[in-house]
Structure 1
Amino acid sequence: MTTDVQSLYRWPAADCTRIPYGMYTNPEVYALEQERVFQGPVWNYLGLEAEIPNGGDFRTIAVGDTPVILNRDRKGQVHAFVNRCAHRGAIVQRQTCGNARAHICCYHQWCYNLEGRLTGVPFQRGIDGKGGLPEDFERKEHGLRPLRVAILNGVIFGTFADEIEPLEDYLDKPFADQLRRQFNRPIKILGYQRQRVFGNWKLYTDNLRDPNHGGLLHMFQITFGIARLNQTGGAKLDKRGRHNMSWAAQQMGQFAEDDGYAGTERGDTKLQLKDPTLLQYRKEYPDDYNLTIASIFPNCIFQQIGNTLAVRQIRTKSAGEFEIFWTFYGYADDSAEMDAHRLRMSNLVGPAGLVSMEDGEAIRIVHEAILGSENEHAIVEFGGRGPVTDQATLITDVPMRGFWLYYCELMGIEPGKAA
C-alpha cells in the first residue's frame, strides 16, 4: 500500500505521550499494519514445539490476519507457510490441528507436502490432450508461501521478512533470558482458550504494557494481593523499548499497612477465599518473581501468574475486532497434583478469568468511545515523558510508549513532525 500514514493524523509529541485515536479505528491503518508490521521485519510467535511433537503434526494459526499452517515434517523439521492455495486462494488446511501426510485443498484437490511444496495437481495434463494446464507449468514455482522459522527453547517464531536481525538479537537479552526461564525444561500442553474482543488489537498491547491498570481495574487481583500497585514490581524493556515485561515479586495475599488504597472502594483486604489454595504460589524459579507478563512485539505474551503458565497470541480480525488465543502449559516432569494446581490457578486468567475478565470489557468501552474522534489523543504520561527506560514501579505506562515508537518506525511515522 502507498498510504502516507504520516499525513492522516497529528502526532504532537515526539516521545509518543500523545497517541491519535484514529490509529486505533481507521481501517486503512489496519490494512497497512498487516503489510508493515505483521509481514514486516519482526519475529511473530507461531507456537510451541510441544504442540507438534511428531512428524506430520500440524496446527493452523494466524500471523495478524494471515492464515498460516505450522507443522513438523517427517524428518523432524518445523515449517510454516501461508494457508492459502496457490490456485484460487482457498484455505488449504481447514482443521485446527491434527496429523497429516500432506495438506490438500478441498476446492480442486491441489496437494502440498509438509514442506509447503506443490506435489499434486489433478488433471494437470487434461484428458486425451484436452484441457489441463500449460505444458510449461512448474509445480515447484507454486508452493505455499513460506515463513522463515527460528526456535528458542522450544518456542517457535516466524517472519516474512527477507532481511531481519537474528531472533535472539530481536528479543534482546532480557527477553531471551525470560524465555529460557519459563521454558527451562520440556513442557506439556494443558489446554487452550480463545477470546473474541470487540476493539482494536493495539488497545490490548497498550493494556499489557500498562501495569498501572492492574492494581486499579482488577478487583480480584487487588482484593487478594496478587498485584497491588504498592507491591515490589516494575517493568523491563529491551534496548529498543519494543518488548516489555511487567513483574511483581511479593507473596500473594500480603498487604502493606500504607498501601495507597485508603479511602477508596478498592482497598478491602478483609475478604477471604473458601479455597485459599487458588493463590498458593509454589516457588519454582531461582528468582522471587511470582508474576511476569512478557510482551513481545508485535503479537504475543508469555505469562506467569503464580504457577499458571501460558502464552497468548493476538490474532487480528479487523480494525475493531481481534482474538486472543491462550495456550496453557506445565512441565513434562510435573506430578498429577501439580498439573491440577496449575489448572486450578488458570481460573485467574482467560476470557472469564478472575483477574483478567475485565480487560476485554475495558478495551471495548475505549474503542466505542473513541470512534468518530480520530484527531483527539490518548494521554500517555504515567512514569513521565522523554526516554523509554526500565521502570522500578508499577505506576507507569512508559512501556506503552516503547511499543508505539517502534510501531511508528515500521509504519513510516515520525511522531512530533508535522505532516
Structure 2
Amino acid sequence: MSALVTQEPAADLLHRYSFPQSDCSQIPYGMYRDPDIYALEQEKIFRGPVWNYLALECEVPKPGDFRVIAVGDTPVIVNRAKDGSIHAVVNRCAHRGATVQRQLHGNTKVHTCCYHQWSFDLTGKLVGIPFQRGVNGIGGLPADFDKSCHSLQRLRIETLNGVIFGTFSDETAPLVEFLDVPFVTQLKRLFHKPVRVLGYQRQRIFGNWKLYSENLRDPNHGGLLHMFQITFGIARLNGKGGATLDSEGKHNMSWAAQGGRKDGEPEPAKDAGYGDTGRGDMNIKLRDPSLLTYRHEYPDDLTLTIASIFPNCCFQQIGNTLAIRQFRTTSADECEVVSTFYGYEDDDEGMARHRLRMANLAGPAGLVSMEDGEAVELVHRAIVRDTDKHSVVAFGGVGAVKDQENLVTDVPMRGFWIHYCKLMGIETGASA
C-alpha cells in the first residue's frame, strides 16, 4: 500500500469511517476528504475492474492522431495506430517516469519523451533510445537490455458505437456486460450514427469527485437548485421523469420527457409542490424561446437524459445539446470535469448552430448547470471538521435499489455507493 498517504494497513483504513446502513442511506463525510481514501480509490476504483470512458473514435480519425486524457489521476494517451487500430497507454516514460506526450492532441509517428528522447510507437512499444550503446563503445545500456520489456503500460480497450472505454484490470467483464442492457441501449440511442465534435469545456472544481458523481445521480436537486430549469420548465420535479439503473445500481440515467402522462392523470400546475420553496415566478417567458426549442430526433419522447456511467463519466442530452462529461481526479479536494460537445455528421448548418446555442445550458457558466460546481464546493468546505458525521440519502425510500418513476429520489446515489463500497472492500451496515 505504498500509494497511500499514511502507512496504515488497508484493512484498518477501511474501518476509519462507518456506513451505519447496509443500503448506504447514510454516507460518512470523511469519505470525501480523506487523502488516504483518495489514494486507495486510484487502485480499487479507477484501476479496478471497471471500464473508464476515454474518448470518441471520431477524435482520433487518422493514423497518428492522439489525445491526452486521464483515468482518475493517471495520465493516458489515446491514439490510432498505422493499421487503424486504437490503443491507450499510460503517458509515463518507462525510463525515468517523465510525461511523454505533452500536447493535448495532435498527430505523430512516435511519442518521444523530452527528458532523454526515448521514443515509443503508437502501440506503446519502445522503439528508440539515443546512445543505447554509449559512445565509442563506452557507457550506454547493458548489452542484454531488451526494449520489448519496456513498453508504455497498456490499457485494455473496447468500443461501442464509436465510444472508447479502457480498463487496467484483466478481471473486468466485457463492456456490454459491465454497462448492462439499459446503458448499452442508451449509448446506441445517442450514437446511432456517426458523430462529430463541436467543442470542449473544462471546469476545475474544488471538491471531491464523488460529490460531483452524486450530483449527477441526484435528480432531486435538478428541480430545486437550477432556477433556469425550474422557471422555464426544462425539467420540474412535478413533471414526467424518473431514473433508470443497471442491475447492480452502479449506473444511473435520470430522465425527463414531454407529455405522455398516465391515462386520467391531470397535468400538474406549474407551481405544484413549489409553493414553499421560494423559487420564483414560473410564468416568466423568454424573449427568444428558440433557445429551448426541442427538435425531435429520437424515436421516443425523452428531452433530458443524464446517463452516469460508473466511475468517471456521464452522457448528457439536454434538449438537442449532446455532451460527454469526463471527470478526472486531482486530489481528495479537487477534480476536473472535461465536457466534449458533439453533434451528428449529417446535421445541417441550422441544427449544428442550434446545438451550439443550446450548449449554453451546460458547462461551468451554463444557464442550467453553473450551480453544480458551486454546490459541490459548498458541501466540501462545510464538512471539513465533521468527518465522523453522515449525510442523509433517503429520498425515494431506503432498502433495495431499483428504477424510480419520479425525480424526487436519492436512490441512484445509494446505488453508486453500494458498488463503490463493494470495490473498495468496505463493509456496510450496523455490524461493520
Normalised TM-score (structure 1):
0.98
Tell me the secondary structure at the aligned position of residue 70 of structure 2.
strand
CA contact (8 A) 2:243 2:406 kept: yes
Amino acid at match of 2:222: G
Task: Work out the CA distance in 2 between the residues paired with 1:263 and 1:26.
Answer: 37
Amino acid at match of 1:396: T
Would you say 1:3 and 2:16 are equivalent positions? no
Would you say 1:259 and 2:272 are equivalent positions? yes
CA contact (8 A) 2:124 2:153 kept: yes
Shift of 1:162: 1.0
CA contact (8 A) 2:240 2:257 kept: yes
CA contact (8 A) 2:270 2:282 kept: no
Give the equivalent residue in structure 1 for 2:118.
110
Task: Work out the CA distance in 2 between the residues paired with 1:154 and 1:16.
Answer: 35
Written as runs of structure 1 = structure 2, the 5 A alignment for 1:303-382 is 303-382=316-395
Tell me the secondary structure at the aligned position of residue 325 of structure 1.
strand
* Deviations 1:24-57 (CA, angstroms, capped at 9, x unpaired): 0000000000000000000000000010000000
Amino acid at match of 1:21: Y
Tell me the secondary structure at the aligned position of residue 185 of structure 1.
coil
Give the equivalent residue in structure 1 for 2:187.
179
Shift of 1:262: 2.3
Q: Once the two structures are aligned, what percentage of the paired residues are identical?
A: 65
Give the equivalent residue in structure 2 for 1:93.
101
Tell me the secondary structure at the aligned position of residue 32 of structure 2.
helix
Amino acid at match of 1:290: T
- Comparing 264-273 and 45-54, the one that deviates more: 264-273
Give the equivalent residue in structure 2 for 1:391.
404
Would you say 1:205 and 2:216 are equivalent positions? no
Give the equivalent residue in structure 2 for 1:127.
135
Give the equivalent residue in structure 2 for 1:137.
145
CA contact (8 A) 2:271 2:282 kept: no
* Deviations 1:366-394 (CA, angstroms, capped at 9, x unpaired): 00000121110010000011000000010
- Shift of the 264–408 alpha-carbon distance from structure 1 to 2, 3 Å rule, reads closer
Tell me the secondary structure at the aligned position of residue 294 of structure 2.
coil
CA contact (8 A) 1:291 1:306 kept: yes
Task: Work out the CA distance in 1 between the residues paired with 2:424 and 2:414.
Answer: 15
Amino acid at match of 1:400: M
Root mean square deviation of aligned Cα: 1.1
Gaps of 5+ in 2: 2-8, 260-266
Shift of 1:264: 3.4
Shift of 1:259: 2.1
Which of residues 5, 23, 35 in structure 2 aligns to 1:15?
23
Written as runs of structure 1 = structure 2, the 5 A alignment for 1:34-113 is 34-113=42-121
Tell me the secondary structure at the aligned position of residue 412 of structure 2.
helix
Shift of 1:149: 0.4
Task: Work out the CA distance in 2 between the residues paired with 1:151 and 1:30.
Answer: 28
CA contact (8 A) 1:304 1:310 kept: yes
Normalised TM-score (structure 2):
0.95
Task: Work out the CA distance in 1 between the residues paired with 2:130 and 2:374.
Answer: 49
Written as runs of structure 1 = structure 2, the 5 A alignment for 1:189-338 is 189-250=197-258, 256-257=269-270, 259-338=272-351
Task: Work out the CA distance in 2 between the residues paired with 1:255 and 1:139.
Answer: 68
CA contact (8 A) 1:11 1:418 kept: no
Task: Work out the CA distance in 2 between the residues paired with 1:295 and 1:92.
Answer: 31
* Deviations 1:121-151 (CA, angstroms, capped at 9, x unpaired): 0001101121101111100000000000000
Give the equivalent residue in structure 1 for 2:429.
416
Task: Work out the CA distance in 1 between the residues paired with 2:304 and 2:176.
Answer: 23
Tell me the secondary structure at the aligned position of residue 345 of structure 1.
helix
* Deviations 1:243-267 (CA, angstroms, capped at 9, x unpaired): 000000026xx97356211243215
* Deviations 1:284-342 (CA, angstroms, capped at 9, x unpaired): 00010000000000000000000000000000000000000000000000001100000
Task: Work out the CA distance in 2 between the residues paired with 1:115 and 1:257.
Answer: 56
- Shift of the 257–24 alpha-carbon distance from structure 1 to 2, 3 Å rule, reads closer
Tell me the secondary structure at the aligned position of residue 31 of structure 1.
helix
- Shift of the 109–176 alpha-carbon distance from structure 1 to 2, 3 Å rule, reads same
CA contact (8 A) 1:225 1:255 kept: no
CA contact (8 A) 2:181 2:246 kept: yes
Task: Work out the CA distance in 2 between the residues paired with 1:304 and 1:334.
Answer: 16
Gaps of 5+ in 1: none
Q: Which runs of 4+ in 1 moved over 4 A?
A: none
